[in-house]
Structures are given as C-alpha cells and as structure tokens.
Amino acid sequence: MNNKEVKKISDNPPTYFGGIARYMWRRIVPLLNEQYDVNLLDRTLIESLCINYQIFRDSYESIKKNKTQYITENGLIKSNTAVSDIDKASKNIKAACDALGMTPKSRSELLNLPKVIEVDEDDGMGDFFDED
C-alpha cells in the first residue's frame, strides 16, 4: 500500500469526543495534515494526544479547586490524585508529540534522516565486475 492509498485524517473530531479533546483535535489535525504526511494509521496516536490533553486540563481544574492536598472527614491529609494524573498525562502528551514530530527534537531528528538513494538496476557496473 503506497501513501496515496492511505486516507488522510478528517479535521472533524470523533463523535465521542467532547470538550477539550474535541477542541484539541480541531486545533492540531489541520496543522498535522498541512505540515506532515499523517493519515489514518496515525489516528489512534492523535486520539491519545487529545484525550491526555483533556485529562491534563481536567486534572489542573481539580487542583485549582481542591489544591494538591486535602483533609478528609477523619482529619487525614490526602494527596489530590489529580497531581499524579497530570504527571501521567504530561508524559503521554510528550510521547505522542515526539512520535508525531511535534517537538523541536523530533523535528530535528526527522530532518537528519539519511536520504534514500534509488539504485538503478542496470547502472553499467555489472560489465565491470563480470569475471568472464
């Protein structure tokens, strides 16, 4: 299957997306389609990026509202689980961005890939190396 046979990703987000994930899809997919050769094979990775961004933002809202720690009814100090959720989501966002070429480091690595040189099947060197 060549690149022309693989369908591009729609600018419209999946129907099950809502809120921030939907916003993120509409924000990044047009840019990815324009700048890179993304296609349906990349869809799951892009979905993961959008979902993790929603988790990141929701967790931040929880921290703004409830702080990083809270006191239970029993008087115990507990950590807000949103702190670890932000940490996990941040790592997942970075990994997805790296894989999609959306970070300076990943773009520079893509630019430094060796160029593929097509070899002509009959370059005339066969006669040179013939041992007849």
- Answer whether 28's CB lies under 8 Å from 49's CB: yes
Question: Average pLDDT of the chain?
Answer: 84
The predicted structure's pLDDT at residue 115: 57
| Res 85 pLDDT > 50 | yes
- Answer whether 64's CB lies under 8 Å from 30's CB: no
Condensed to tens digits (0 to 9), the pLDDT of residues 35-68 reads 887 888 899 999 999 999 999 999 999 999 999 9
| Res 3 pLDDT > 70 | no
* Euclidean distance between CA atoms 132 and 15, whole angstroms: 68
* Euclidean distance between CA atoms 50 and 56, whole angstroms: 10
The predicted structure's pLDDT at residue 126: 52
The total number of residues shown for the chain amounts to: 132
The predicted structure's pLDDT at residue 102: 87
Q: What is the mean pLDDT of residues 81-99?
A: 96
The predicted structure's pLDDT at residue 106: 76
Helix (H) and strand (E) counts for the chain? Answer: 5, 2
